[in-house]
Amino acid sequence: MILKSINIFLIFLIFSSLVDAVPENYRTSYTIDLKENGTAIWNVEYRTLLSTKEDFDSFDNYSKQMSSVYIPEFTELMQRSASEASSATSRDMVVNDFKGNTSIQSTPTGKYGIVSFSFTWTKFAKLDPMNVGDVFAGGLFLSKDNSLIIKYPPGFTVDEVTPAPDQIRDEFDELIWYGLRSFAVGEPRIILSKAAFPWGTSIIIVVLIAFAVSAWSYFKKKKNEKTKEVIQTEESTDPHEQNTIITEVELMDAEERIMKVLKDAGGEIHQSKIVRILDLPKSSVSSALNQLHEKKLIIKIKKGRENLIRLVQEI
């Protein structure tokens, strides 16, 4: 059973560039959360569809042995990999704080067995400037539908990245690559720099804030007058063009309806189709999606000129 050899598979997938393809119903995501001191928090999630009694029995047996067998095996393999990377980079690396758990998740497309591991890898990145990539001495291989997410520290900017990521999420400081993909030796390579504090700009901002505060009373009065005018003309306006500023209650309702549409669609759907199904203004749908994105309930994937909206599966 592949579940039994999951730890070995994860390590070979990351450090040995496996050629053999993973079965299509297996998906793995790797998240590397970089810290300012060069330490990285790794989170590896492996999910597989459970469709038969044998699948459930195997997963249950795996779960029972998680603490006694698989976490120790995973720890040993990662320590060996870090030791090899330490020798290759001449940095004294340490991996510790190993954790692992399993769960079964029900989705509109079926039940999935979720296996997740996390650990801390010190001196993962080279500093001055922060440089990621030399630990990947053997390159990487992402199987189909698998993903690699590298999060960089707040306040840092990406000066160089090779190869170009499939998705950049600036709001979360994330670079994402999707499989099927082979990385060359030393890739992905990322060079980061910490932005200097813009003292000149900050002085200008202080002046602008002072001006804004002094004019607050005047603008507040004008705003109240404008609000009254909008209310008086509201009934004569096309309903799809009313209330371009969505209220908090309406936003929460739209979020719930979008989540239902996503679940009914099997976990992913194009943004334009959500607008058509809910018969809501594009601005309202966009605002609701932004809120769901901030809550990490969905992800947006650029597909041509459209956004594909996908549910984030909870562990």
pLDDT tens digit string along 264-274?
Answer: 888 889 999 99
Inform me whether the pLDDT recorded for 155 exceeds 70: yes
pLDDT band at 164 (very low <50, low <70, confident <90, very high): very high
pLDDT at 84 (0 to 100)? 86
Average the pLDDT over 225-237 and give the result.
Answer: 48
The vertex-79 CA angle with 77 and 85, nearest 5°, equals: 105
Give the pTM: 0.57
How many Cα atoms occupy the beta-carbon half-sphere of 86 within 13 Å? 14
Average the pLDDT over 193-217 and give the result.
Answer: 62
pLDDT band at 224 (very low <50, low <70, confident <90, very high): low
CA–CA separation, 283 and 289 (whole Å): 10
Which H helix or E strand runs over 54? Answer: helix 53-64
**Rounded (10°) CA dihedral 247, 248, 254, 259:** 160
pLDDT at 303 (0 to 100)? 80
